[in-house]
Amino acid sequence: MKLLLPSHREKKTVSIFMVPACLILLLGLCSNLANAQTPDPRFDPPTAEFHFARLMFSNAAYSRRGRRGGAWMTDYPDAEYHLMDGVNRMTNIEGELVDYYGQGGRLISLDGDQVFDYPWLYAVEVGQWTLSAQEATKLREYLDRGGFLMVDDFWGDYEWQTFVESMRRVFPDRPIVEIDEDDPVMHVMFDVDKSTQIPGMNGIRTGSIPHWRGIYDDAGRLIVAINFNMDMGDAWEHAGNPYYPAKMTAMAYRFAVNYIIYSMTH
């Protein structure tokens, strides 16, 4: 079979201005296709001994956070960036460093089983969260199976009640108690105490009293560490900021390292 080619006179001319446009369109389509096929590594399985795992959740209906961002995103990813650098410097843990785009950290949803890959889970501004019955069940299973949850940066009676409302869906049968000074979590690597309140970048909220509270399992293992009326996330986020007190950052680092090591050894 012969291919019938147009004669010289029948050939149509192609404008030189059409070639770049076609190339640009083709490159754009290829780029979009590549992006669509490339998964977000922040949702990948673990690739290191330890990752900063941040819990994603829905805001409560009366949250002061607007539609543009969830409360769970507070201090993200700067807190991860600075803390993981400190964890790797201060311990023998092989932690995955986090860059300014959050790569290296993990974003955790309670919709699937991803959470079971991580021994330590961080949730910020839980005074504005709301957990569904399904999410609460998954979080309880995670904690019962050996997971550890650290919650941070919520203030005052109103936010405390919001936090407790969802936490009671997780553990309706376990009390929230003050962590004793002699608890192993206070001494697992660093000797820390509860005498100093860790402030946010804007300082201590007037009249707020710090509380180091927790929930324990039947064997006496701390499974939820509750930092109430404190902001460790800000202390990590502003580790390199000369306007944030270095003493507070150092203390927040020590508490975080203790929580992490405790979660991996208990």
What is the span of the domain harbouring residue 50?
42-265
pLDDT at 12: 42
Please indicate, yes or no, if residue 211 is contained in any of the structural domains: yes
Please indicate, yes or no, if residue 134 is contained in any of the structural domains: yes
Please indicate, yes or no, if residue 14 is contained in any of the structural domains: no
Provide the percentage of residues in the chain whose pLDDT is more than 90.
Answer: 77
Number of domains in the chain: 1
Per-residue pLDDT band at 59 (split at 50, 70, 90): confident
Whether 216 and 174 have beta carbons less than 8 Å apart is answered as: yes
Q: What is the pLDDT of residues 205-226, one digit of tens each?
A: 888 999 999 999 999 999 999 9
Q: Is the pLDDT of residue 172 over 50?
A: yes
CATH number for the domain spanning 105: value is 3.40.50.12140
Please indicate, yes or no, if residue 222 is contained in any of the structural domains: yes
Q: What is the pLDDT of residues 46-58, one digit of tens each?
A: 999 999 999 999 8
Q: What is the pLDDT of residues 143-169, one digit of tens each?
A: 999 999 999 999 999 999 999 999 999
212 burial (CB, 10 Å; 0-12 / 13-18 / 19+) is buried
Provide the percentage of residues in the chain whose pLDDT is more than 70.
Answer: 82
Q: Is the pLDDT of residue 134 over 60?
A: yes
Please indicate, yes or no, if residue 17 is contained in any of the structural domains: no
Please indicate, yes or no, if residue 235 is contained in any of the structural domains: yes
Please indicate, yes or no, if residue 19 is contained in any of the structural domains: no
Please indicate, yes or no, if residue 18 is contained in any of the structural domains: no
**What is the residue-wise DSSP string for 176-237?**
-EEPPTTSGGGTSSS---SSS---BTTBPPTT---EEEEEE-TTS-EEEEEEET--HHHHHH
